[in-house]
Amino acid sequence: MEQPKEDVGTQKDLCLYRIQTAKENLKSARILFDAEEYKGANNRAYYAIFNAINAIHALDGNISKRTWKENLRSRRNTSRKRL
């Protein structure tokens, strides 16, 4: 699936993109679950939830292009600077 361009689209567009991504992840999770690939199914289900929540955040105006890993790294670097 093509990534949205940074300077194009509305909050609604971003929300719809994230909902579509969540649906695709959920479909993959079901396929993996039926194939008894539980670890992979769990991973895809997690990202389905993650993308659905991010879709809601996009409507609230809390748009983040950073991943949770980038956010975690940023928090760790900030806490290290305080020491």
Cα distance between residue 78 and residue 49, in whole Å: 28
Give pTM, 2 decimals. Answer: 0.66
* Residue that wins the pLDDT comparison between 16 and 6: 16
Q: Which tens digits make up the pLDDT trace of 15-54?
A: 899 999 999 999 999 999 999 999 999 999 999 999 999 8
Quick one: CA dihedral 3, 77, 81, 83, positive or negative?
positive
Structure tokens at 56: 């809601």
Name the nearest CA neighbour of 41 among 53, 49, 50, 32: 32
What does the domain layout of the chain look like in residue ranges? 11-82
Query: Vertex 20, ends 42 and 15: CA angle to 5°?
Result: 110
What kind and span of H or E run contains 56?
helix 38-60
